[in-house]
Every structure is written in C-alpha cells, then in structure tokens.
Amino acid sequence: MQNIRRTARLAGIAALFLATTASASSPPPPSAVDLAQQGDDPAWAITEALTTEIGPRQAATEAEAAARRWAVARLAAMGFQNVREEAFMMPTWVRGAEEASLIGPFQPQKLHITALGTSASTGPKGLEGEIVYFASYDALVAAPEQSVKGKIVFIDHQMKPAQDGSGYGQYGRARFTGANVAAKKGAVAVVIRSIGTDSHRAPHTGGTNFETGVKPIPAGALSNPDADQLVRQWKRVAAGTASAPLRMKLLLTPQNLGQQQSGNVIAEVPGSDPAASPVIIACHLDSWDLGTGAIDDAAGCGIITAAAKHVMSAGQPRRTIRILWAGAEEVGVFGGKAYFDAHGKEKHAVALESDFGADWVWRVDFKLPDSAKALTDRIAAAVAPFGVTRGKQAANGGADIGALVAAGVPAVDLAQDGTRYFDLHHTPDDTLDKIDPVQLRQNVTVWTATLAILANSTDSELP
Amino acid sequence: MQNIRRTARLAGIAALFLATTASASSPPPPSAVDLAQQGDDPAWAITEALTTEIGPRQAATEAEAAARRWAVARLAAMGFQNVREEAFMMPTWVRGAEEASLIGPFQPQKLHITALGTSASTGPKGLEGEIVYFASYDALVAAPEQSVKGKIVFIDHQMKPAQDGSGYGQYGRARFTGANVAAKKGAVAVVIRSIGTDSHRAPHTGGTNFETGVKPIPAGALSNPDADQLVRQWKRVAAGTASAPLRMKLLLTPQNLGQQQSGNVIAEVPGSDPAASPVIIACHLDSWDLGTGAIDDAAGCGIITAAAKHVMSAGQPRRTIRILWAGAEEVGVFGGKAYFDAHGKEKHAVALESDFGADWVWRVDFKLPDSAKALTDRIAAAVAPFGVTRGKQAANGGADIGALVAAGVPAVDLAQDGTRYFDLHHTPDDTLDKIDPVQLRQNVTVWTATLAILANSTDSELP
C-alpha cells in the first residue's frame, strides 16, 4: 500500500510539472528534465529488454557475454559515441546442485537453500551433520572452537527493512565472512538465514569471502521461512522436548572454473569542451543467476542511460558524460577494478552510480570540493520538487566507482528508497514485475536534473 | 497494510468483549466463546506443531502416515474420545525432477516450474518443443487440432484476487482440465500460468484430470513472473521481431506408485443425548508437498479442533461433535469419499468444513432445513459481533463433506477472507509465517460460537 500511495503522489508531482510547462504561452524547447517526464522512458525499455532477451547474466559466463553484445548494440543504436567493450579476466565460480533437508529428530523435511558465491562443494554425495545454532554473527565469533568443530553452523539474525538499507552492513556480516569464521573454527559447513527481509521460500545468494589460507567450506543461505522452521525445531531440541540433536543433510556442488573473461561496456556523450574532465555514471551489467537482475541492476543501467540520453537530446553538454555498464560487480567488483586500472589516472569531474533498485530517490548526498558550494545548492534545488531532500552525510559513491572515489574523485549519491530492496535482492524474485514504472521515471527525472547540472558545471566548480 | 489494519480491528473487538465479560460483578463460568477469546489458542498450537514437526504431508506417503500418528496422539491428549484412524487405499502420484527453460530464439533462461498432480513424465532426458500460446482456457478449447499437434501448449490468463475466492473456478479450469484438452488435440506437453495471484517465483501445483482413455501428457505450471517472461518473449516472436519460433525444454519425471494407503483421523466430543445425530466438522490433514501446508490445511484442522475443545470445556453438548481430519483431499478427496462410504448412511445433523486458510471469517451461509429458521437467526446474531455478515447464498459445505451435503446433510459455511489465499495456495510459500494469530483466533471464536449453538440444537431444528 505504501508503494502504491507513493506512486500516486509521484505521478501527481510529475503531472503538475508537465502542466506548468505546457501552460507557457511561447514554450521554450524542452529541457532535459522535460524530456525525462514525457513520452517513452528509455529506462523502462532497457530494463524490460535486457531482462527479457538476456535474463540472468552471471559474471564471466556466456550469458554475461551475450549481455555485453546486446549492450553495445543498444547503446550505439541510442546514439551514444565511443561504445566499446573493455575485457578483463577473473576467477569464476558457478552454482551446482543445491539441496538441504532437516533429517532429525523430526519427520524429514526439505529446505530451500542456495549456495553463497565461493562456497566449497560438499561433493556429489553431500554431507550430514549436527546443527549448532548461533543467534548472530557476533555469537559465532565469540563461540569456542569445540562447540563448532565438526558441525554445521547455523547463523540466525533479525534483519528488518530500512529506507536507507542500513541493515545490510550489520546483518550482512553473516554472509560476507560468517563462513570464514566458521571454517577457521573447524565447522564442516555453514548455513545462514538469508540476508533478506521477505517471507518467501526464495533464499538470497551473494558472495562470501574466505581469507587467504582458510580452506573454503560449503556455505549456503536458507530462505526466511526455512530458517524459521529450523529455529522452531532447534528450540524444541534445546528445550529438551526432542530426544536427539538437530541434524541436516546438505548437498552443494558449485565449481570453480578458473580465470574466465568478463568485461565492461562503455559509451559516451561527447562534451563540447574537449579539455573538460568527464562526468562518469555507473551501473553494473552482470547479475546474480537466480533472478533476471531487474532491480539489481538492469534498472540502474536503464536509469543512468536514460538520464544521459535526455541530457544529450536537450543539447550537447560542456563535459563528456561517460556511461559505465560494469561487468562482474556481484562477485567482487572486478569491473570497477578493471575500469580503475585502465582509467584511474585520467581526470574525472565527478562520479555517480545507480545500484539500489528502481524505487524512488528520496535524498541527495554530496562529496564535492568546497569550490562546488553553489553547484550543490543548484542540484538540491533542482531535485527538491521531486520529493528529494538534502542529506547531511557524505556521498559514498557505490561499488563500481568505489576505487575512483577512494582516489579522490568527487561523488554525488541519489539515494533510493530501499524499504523493499532486501525483499528481492539476490533472489529468484528479482524480476521485471517488481519494477514500478512511475518510481523508475522519478529516478530518471532526478538523475536527469542532476546530470544536466554536473555536465554543464564549470572548471572552477569541479576538477 | 490491509491485513495489519484488519488485525488491529479484530484485536480491538476481542479486547472489548473480554472487558465486558470481566466487568460483570458476579461472573458466570466462562462460555465456550469466552474460552475461545482467552488464553492459549489450540488452533495456533496445532498449526505450529503439525507444520514444524511433520511439515509437508502428501497423501499416501510416509509423511502423511506420520501426520496421522501425530494427529491421533494429539487429539487423544486434548481429551477427545473415540480417536482413531480409518485407513483406505488410493492411487498415488509423486513428484520427480522438474526443470524448464526457454531455449530460443533468445538467450536460454531457466524457468520455475512445478508438475501438476497426475502429470505424465517427460522421461529422464526431457523433451523440447515449440510453444503455442493461448490467452485462456477457452481459447485452447476453441483452437483447431493442427495448431496444437506436436507442440507444447501454454495457457495464459489473468486471475486476480477476490475476497470470496471466486476466481478459482473460472481460471482454475486451465489447471483442472487444460492438460486433458491439450492431450486430446495432440500436444506433447502443457504448461500453464499458475492458478495464483502472487508475483513470486513459486509455481502453484494442484491436480489435473485426464479423462478415461486420454493418455496423460507432461503438465506443469510456471510461476507468474516466469509466465510473464514467456509471454514477453512470445509477443516479440508473434510481432515478427524475432527470427525463430519460441521453444522450451521441459523435464518432469513424476511417478505413479499404484495403490498406497492413506487414512482419515476421527475424534469425538460425545454428546449428552446418545440418540441425537452428530455435528460433523472437517478439515484435511494431507497437504501438497511443496510447502508445509500451513494455510492448506493445518490451520483448518486447528480451527475446527479448537472450537470443539472450547465447546467441550464449557460443558458437555447435547449432540456429539465428530471431528474429521480427512486424508488425501488434495489429490482427489479420497478421504471424504472413504468417510462417506463408511458413514454416509449414518444420520448427521449438520456438516461444516474449514479449508480456506487462516484469514478472518467475514460471512456465514446456510443450507439448513426450514425448521432451522430460528437456529440460523441465533447463529447470525452470535457471529455478528465478530464482523461476520449473513450471506444470501446457500452454503456449499466443502470438499471433504461434499458427498454428505450432496446426500442431503445440512451445511453451514463460515466463509473466510480469500484475498491473499491464492497468493499462497499449493506453493512452497504455504508456511507458518503466513498465518496471522489474531485472524486465526477470530476464526476459532466464530467457529466456537456457531458450533456451540449447532451442538445444542434441538431435534426439531436439525435432523
């Protein structure tokens, strides 16, 4: 309901602005923002077509290569310049069979599980073991080795939705490094409650990281309802109402394929001043394999590209706009690293990224030089009519432009509503039907307003 | 949001009634309805324990047998009398592997599919074929044989939620007999859009029926997002923007196990008048195998049993209350038929069934003799405080008591809110977390109020 109300309000705002524009007696040519609010939405078209014609596109697989070919053709057809692939090599992990069951002390039941990226294989026969329960990542960290050794570690938690997505960092540790902690304590496998806020039998995948020298163990995530079931059984066992320990059977057979090729796709809107440093805008083209990567991150590619298209259509900007559809973000930001290796020494005026779904932009954050004070005021004023407030914290930039921002490139964040993002993130449910075209268009409008100002900023404002 | 608001209002109503009861200066012993509103809820306890300790319980499998053993112990422990299993034999079908992919003309993509009950097997190597699209069941019925022969039939539709669940009959035909129609026209397989109203990658299973003499073909259901994907690709092909037909690879390997044993579980609250005919209240103990059968129909068993328990606790009723936890409803109402074969010639005063989830009762419908006019008024008045209105249509009774009602046994329907029922029905998502304890308790309260009146009705009111 909240989303529907939001949608209606955003549509109303958009209509108001259109009416204002249309009522002028001698209308000026449409601005980039006018274009973003009218007619077809290239963001929807890109998101619909990429998810329909390519679908899932895991890094360094044939599907991601097909997505790059598709992307080059699409970006060229939209009138962008210097459209190209920039290839790189990367270690590649692919999913195999994945099954889990609770096998005692109650009637055996199948669970919905998915392997985490870099999980080891159980081998084709799987493994069985006793479950040891931890209420949180921190509880596992604090546990003595002997309580874990030889067992299947289960990590529970209570992640809840937040508009700014802030639960991901805290609760995400169970996925990011829980397997590593369990492996070092001698666990035979680790199973976590999904880092997700939904109640569907769709487990959330994502990468997990083993330290150098730590031998990977099988690592999987259960859906929230499956984790609930495990916890209910665990509580009976812990309360002594069941006669035997809680046991699981686990089969995960992922494979490491060694070094495989991935790549970035780059396109540009050439600026009128060849000496001016470019504005770089980024998304990622790869997706996890379970869904079709609609919110993560086809929509991001649609949003940034639509904004660039509208700015280009309204008249050549002073600065070049460089569009980066990064490869291999999900599995370790290999595309962002490859871009930085190839282009990190070039000057960049400012960097922005869209990689948090397709729900509306509610806040703008800046990390700009002091010289850009008037510029930030112009952007804040330009996006305020669309419901976007000015944040008090520094922009952080995003994964694919992370190395650039760490190296000092200024950044602007157009923060999206993440209330339902972790319902869908890295699940089979990341599909086109989850995208609300009205909220998607608000993203494009806010991005267009921001990008038009940045791409026409002066050299005294941005480096 | 709607459910949350509803929940708060129902809780408010319950609190109001408790306060009224508590403020009486010399309180009478608690009525059955008082008991239903206070303290522990046996409906929740049964639903939680059955779904946790047994989980999925497909008809005539070891899981259903375990559920019967569990049920007999539970019902006896609750103080019911004449607790027993009544076994019967039935033809048994079990699921195998299930995989589907769109394999051309676009990048291959996996779909989420589930086999329909009585589906044939594709064999272990699967089959590939061209998809032929039908916008509805009726469009398939009207299609010439040559458009279908040798192809994989896809049946689309636009089922939407309705409070009374009325979409199921019309749209459900695609599942009930779509495969039979397709088989008679020479299709190699049939794939339908799930009979469901959600947007998750959880396909809805359920039985499909082939006429005698029609050779079964493989039959599956896609989740709604997967059906959307197929349709988007189909539209491109139909519009001529793709160069080749739409093709699918399908692997379904279910098996027929021949005659296996299932059974009903029966328990009673003996009435004070042994000559009075019993009130029979029914649910079904079996579930489809994909979820844990929480809304379908552990909750139904919880609701009717809690009501019987509260009526029993408040004082012995005049009529015997017979509780039927039927086996094998999902796969063809074998338990209901077995009960009728064994007991159909006995007199029954009235029959009721709970098999539509755990959301609140909003309407009461009657199919009672004319002699019961005052009785219906008493029931309508007793349930009105809980938000239940009196319907204008005849009660239909439900699957497991269907044969009794068809033979003339009177019926009362306590109609539940089905707005979200077909989001979950027959999917992996039918799990305990979907049950709202406040709405579940409203069911128990309304059932208790109704059952107390029926079980104490006179012989001049009911047969």
Of B48, B66, B233, the CB nearest to A52: B233
pLDDT tens by residue, B231-259: 999 999 999 887 799 999 999 999 999 99
Which of residues 2 through 21 in chain B touch A, CB cutoff 8 A? 2
- Comparing CA positions, the residue from B292, B224, B283 lying closest to residue B430 is B292
| Distances from the Cα of B101 to the Cα of A286, A395, A423, B196, B249, angstroms | 20, 42, 25, 21, 5
By CA distance, what is B231's nearest residue in A? A52
Q: Is the pLDDT of residue B199 over 70?
A: yes
| Pairwise CB contact (< 8 Å): B228 & A433 | yes
What pLDDT was estimated at residue A3? Answer: 45
What pLDDT was estimated at residue A2? Answer: 42
Which of residues 389 through 448 in chain B touch A, CB cutoff 8 A? 427-429, 431-434
A185 touching B (Cβ < 8 Å):
no
Of B66, B106, B233, the CB nearest to A107: B66
Burial class (CB in 10 A: 0-12, 13-18, 19+), A68: buried
What pLDDT was estimated at residue B194? Answer: 98
By CA distance, what is A49's nearest residue in B? B232
Chain B residues within 8 A of A54 when measuring between CB atoms:
106-107
Contacts of A295 (CB under 8 A, 6+ apart): A357, A358, A421, A424, A425, A430, A434, A435
Stretch B81-93: mean pLDDT, rounded? Answer: 98
| Pairwise CB contact (< 8 Å): A228 & B433 | yes
A316 touching B (Cβ < 8 Å):
no
- In whole numbers, what is the pLDDT of chain B averaged over residues? 95
B232 touching A (Cβ < 8 Å):
yes
Chain A residues within 8 A of B53 when measuring between CB atoms:
106-107, 233, 236
Helical packing angle, B437-455 and B2-22, nearest 10°: 50
Is the sign of the CA dihedral B37, B42, B45, B47 positive or negative?
negative
Q: How many CB pairs under 8 A join A and B?
A: 101
Q: How many Cβ atoms from other residues are within 10 Å of residue A132's Cβ? A: 21
Stretch B138-166: mean pLDDT, rounded? Answer: 97
| Pairwise CB contact (< 8 Å): A429 & B112 | no
Rounded to whole angstroms, the Cα distance separating B318 from B349 reads 12
Q: Is the pLDDT of residue B4 over 60?
A: no
Q: Measured between CA atoms, how close is A196 to chain B, in angstroms?
A: 15
What pLDDT was estimated at residue B25? Answer: 65
Rounded to whole angstroms, the Cα distance separating B247 from B230 reads 10
The DSSP secondary structure of A332-380, one letter per residue, reads T-HHHHHHHHHHTTS--SEEEE--S-SSPEEEEEEE--GGGHHHHHHHH
What pLDDT was estimated at residue A26? Answer: 74
What pLDDT was estimated at residue A28? Answer: 85
Rounded to whole angstroms, the Cα distance separating B60 from A158 reads 38
Q: Measured between CA atoms, how close is B200 to chain A, in angstroms?
A: 6
Stretch B297-306: mean pLDDT, rounded? Answer: 98
| Pairwise CB contact (< 8 Å): A431 & B228 | yes
Of A53, A202, A236, the CB nearest to B201: A202
Enter the ipTM: 0.93
- The one-digit pLDDT tens for each residue of chain A (463 residues) are 344 445 555 555 544 444 444 455 677 899 999 999 998 899 999 999 999 999 999 999 999 999 999 999 999 999 999 999 999 999 999 999 999 999 999 999 999 999 999 999 999 999 999 999 999 999 999 999 999 999 999 999 999 999 999 999 999 999 999 999 999 999 999 999 999 999 999 999 999 999 999 999 999 999 999 999 999 999 999 998 877 999 999 999 999 999 999 999 999 999 999 999 999 999 999 999 999 999 999 999 999 999 999 999 999 999 999 999 999 999 999 999 999 999 999 999 999 999 999 999 999 999 999 999 999 999 999 999 999 999 999 999 999 999 999 999 999 999 999 999 999 999 999 999 999 999 999 999 999 999 999 999 999 999 9
| Pairwise CB contact (< 8 Å): B225 & A431 | yes
- Test mutation, B110, B201, B228, chain A, max A CBs within 10 A: B201
| The two structure tokens encoding residue B321 | 């209350």
- Comparing CA positions, the residue from A301, A296, A255 lying closest to residue A426 is A296
Q: Is the pLDDT of residue B20 over 70?
A: no
The reply to whether omega before A297 is within 30° of 0 (cis) is: yes
